[in-house]
Amino acid sequence: MCLNAVPSPPAHPHTSLPCYKVLTFLLFSFIFSFCLFASLRQFRTPKPEDYNSYPSTERSQAGSTRMLPKSERRLTILLWTWPFGHRFNFSNCSELFDTPNCHFTTNRSWSQKADAVIMHHRDVYWDTNSLAQLPRPPSQRWIWFNMESPSHSPNLGAMDHLFNLTMSYRRDSDIFAPYGELQLLSQPQPFSIPPKTKMVAWVVSNWRPSSHRVKYYEELKKHIPVDVYGRHHLPLSMDMLHQTVSQYNFYLAFENSQHKDYITEKLWRNALSSGTVPVVLGPPRENYEHFLPPDSFIHVDDFASAGELAQYLQELSRDTERYQRYFQWRRWLKPVLGIGWAMQVCRACHFLQRTEASYHVVPDLSKWFV
């Protein structure tokens, strides 16, 4: 509404506008500016902290998209074969890794619908031509799964350009699946060393006289008594393993082959979980120290010969104070086994739920996995 205290002469129609038209123009301009500002805000440069809050999307059967937090992303993972033919019960991944909404199946009718397919190397290496011909959705990830060393992984060259994710004991795998790991305790805890009455134990099932570990054992036993358990040796049931090994001062955690990061249950389950000091033969000491404190194990490479190692073990067994130093780390750390097929497939789901999709292929798997 316009109010004039003094009447004014009439304005020329081409030099002025009625007041209601001016108000209409201003109102329209305000609305247009507000909408433009709101639209431009959607295309602002995101701040670093925004990347942590971006939700994932889920497409419904109707084709619409709704937003979901990553932790709610439902995944279906096809296990192509039971590893080595061993059936197992799939676990609730929420209990193992706080990873809900993981659905596993071995039904190959899901091969075109599953988010990922896990293929165990030792069960598919002989039929890679058929695998290469399988139809495969562009967004589906194929996971090469292997817990064996390169020495026991045939036909690796046929795996090149076939998979886009790796899962193994190697620390540089896409999905790291160790045989064991150390868990940090919430507060220091006392550790009681089991009573020791014997010297050295070794549990071995795959006995090959020509192998490096058997040859080393043959030299070692010339200088120190070693009790060998397993096939063709002293009998030992699995339920008596820890009780038996815990009586020994030392345990020979000898790997069947020497490769990067190949540190198996021989160390984690047989030695550390039994409360004895492992004597390791495998990758170099520096590699073991990526997994363990340096004063928690004895490496054969630290000695010029098996005879020198035997002499050190005998001296250490007689020196209680020095021997106990190999257990000081147990106050803060606890060895935890990482084996179990159900746990490993849950690792895969945990990785997929927390990692943005990346559909690269592994071009030189045979050169990497050595």
Q: Which domains does the chain have, with CATH numbers?
A: 69-177+341-368 (3.40.50), 182-337 (3.40.50.11660)
Catalytic residue ranges? 148
pLDDT classification of 229: cutoffs 50, 70, 90: very high
Question: Strand order in 277-281's β-sheet?
Answer: 226-229, 198-203, 248-254, 277-281, 298-299
d(CA 344, CA 199): 35
User: Residue 132: CB partners within 8 Å, gap ≥ 6?
Assistant: 162
Residue type (1 letter), 310: A
Task: Reply yes or no on whether the pLDDT at 26 is more than 80.
Answer: no
Residue 270 phi/psi, 5-degree rounding, is: -70, -40
φ/ψ (deg, to 5) at 326:
-70, -5
* pLDDT at residue 65 in the model: 32
pLDDT at 64 over 70: no
Residue 4: pLDDT band with limits 50, 70, 90? very low
HSE (side-chain half, CA atoms, 13 Å) at 132: 10
Q: With a cut of 80, say whether residue 289 has pLDDT above it.
A: yes
* pLDDT value of position 204: 95
- H/E element holding 357? none
Which tops the pLDDT comparison, 339 or 290? 290
β-strand pairing of 298-299 with 277-281: parallel
Confidence of residue 265 (pLDDT cuts 50, 70, 90): very high
pLDDT of residue 53: 27
Residue 66 has pLDDT above 90, yes or no: no
Question: What mean pLDDT is reported for the chain?
Answer: 84
The SS3 call for residue 166 is strand
